Amino acid sequence: MSSRIAELYGSPPLSPESVANAAKHQCPFVAEPCFKKHGACSLQVGDADPVIICPNRLYAEKFAVLLDVAKQVFGGKCELVSPHENENRRVANAHTGDEVIVFGKYFGGELGIPSPPGLEKAETKGSFYIDYLLAKFDTSGELAAFAAVEVQTIDTTNSYADAAASYTQGVPYVSKYGPDLTKAGLNWENVSKRILPQLIYKGHALRREPLCIKGLFFILPHAVFLKIKRRLGGKLQDYPQSAGTITFRTYDLGPVAPDGKRSLVFRETLTTTVDQIAYAFVSPQNLPEAGVYQAVISDAVKKLAKKKKTSKQG
């Protein structure tokens, strides 16, 4: 199925903002250089709604998705600050009490988690690192609680590079499939191969942390969440947030505004337990009918025999 780039460098392809940001290779959502080679933020496959394919697209409005998590976990008024800014305030005696320190990309202070004894670092790559840790300290300077946040979108298959290169130059793109169309797709296999196993592992690791009071938060596009639910059988029980839970928070692109841009829209939240996800992952309910493999094998052999018989008669 053909696809088209819905957003390039934060705006519709060929729009003045998109072309200007492409010239600087600049991401407008984090005010930093785009870390993707071709600058695509979202991809529309067929007639379906566009799906966010870059994590930075989820950081619109000054990382509002992280602020929403901070408010859920710590309550009251929250202000996201980098470790450096927090230290500056401490030295200047300028703390307001609303500070939530963010450890993670674009805030500095990324924290590495050591591998368990007996395992090499390469064996656990990606299994322990958390995208964002949000920390709240008490008035005495001691860590009071923290939240763990994972942010995932979806990888793509094939390539949209030619289309992106054309748009970057301000030139319309036409392929053999038609105007704007590419053969890029969405790599849904990663839901089973990478996203779910890491989510389960990290969820188990965090449930051992007494100060991770509301478990792991998982921020993702709504379309990816729907695929996860389908992979897990569609039935995840809702639980109150606590240690050992995983809270999904899903987002979509809003409708096209008069200027052609789309806002980031919150869609759904679900809190369930690590155990629920792990059990559903290894015990899927959406299985094919019993005997389907037997029927396929028998049918294949019968068709082959029929084909050879027809060939001999000919």
Asked if 19 and 13 touch (Cβ cutoff 8 Å), the reply is no
Instruction: Quote the pLDDT of residue 68.
Output: 97
Burial class (CB in 10 A: 0-12, 13-18, 19+), 229: middle
144 is written with which tokens? Answer: 């009071």
- Comparing CA positions, the residue from 81, 66, 113, 96 lying closest to residue 217 is 66
Instruction: Quote the pLDDT of residue 125.
Output: 58
Instruction: Quote the pLDDT of residue 233.
Output: 84
Place of tokens 């695509």: 40
Beta pairing partners, 100 = 80
| Strand locations in the chain (E) | 3-8, 26-27, 32-33, 40-45, 51-52, 79-81, 99-104, 132-137, 143-151, 156-157, 174-175, 178-179, 185-186, 216-221, 245-253, 264-273
Burial class (CB in 10 A: 0-12, 13-18, 19+), 187: middle
Instruction: Quote the pLDDT of residue 127.
Output: 55
Phi, psi values for residue 187, rounded to 5°:
-85, 75
Burial class (CB in 10 A: 0-12, 13-18, 19+), 62: exposed
- With b for 16 or more beta-carbon neighbours within 10 A and e for fewer, the 277-288 pattern comes to bbebbeeeeeee
288 is written with which tokens? Answer: 């094919």
**Residues with Cβ within 8 Å of residue 235, at least 6 apart in sequence:** 280, 285
User: Can you say whether residue 100 is alpha, beta or left, with left for phi > 0 and alpha for psi between -120 and 50 degrees?
Assistant: beta
5 is written with which tokens? Answer: 């780039």
Instruction: Quote the pLDDT of residue 135.
Output: 97
Instruction: Quote the pLDDT of residue 126.
Output: 52
Helices and strands (H and E) in the chain: how many: 9, 16
Instruction: Quote the pLDDT of residue 145.
Output: 96
Asked if 287 and 241 touch (Cβ cutoff 8 Å), the reply is no
Q: CA angle at residue 188 from 185 to 190, to 5 degrees?
A: 120
Beta pairing partners, 26 = 33
* Residue 154 host element (H or E): none
Residue-level pLDDT, tens digit, the chain, 314 residues: 899 999 999 999 999 999 999 999 999 999 999 999 899 999 999 999 999 999 999 999 999 999 999 999 999 899 999 999 999 999 999 999 999 999 999 998 778 777 677 666 555 555 578 999 999 999 888 999 999 999 999 999 999 999 999 999 999 999 999 999 999 999 998 887 888 998 999 999 999 999 999 999 999 999 999 999 988 887 789 999 999 999 999 999 999 898 888 999 999 999 999 999 999 888 877 778 889 999 999 999 999 998 887 777 76
- Comparing CA positions, the residue from 88, 211, 80 lying closest to residue 143 is 211
Burial class (CB in 10 A: 0-12, 13-18, 19+), 24: exposed
Give the residue extent of every domain in the chain: 1-54+155-187, 61-152+188-314
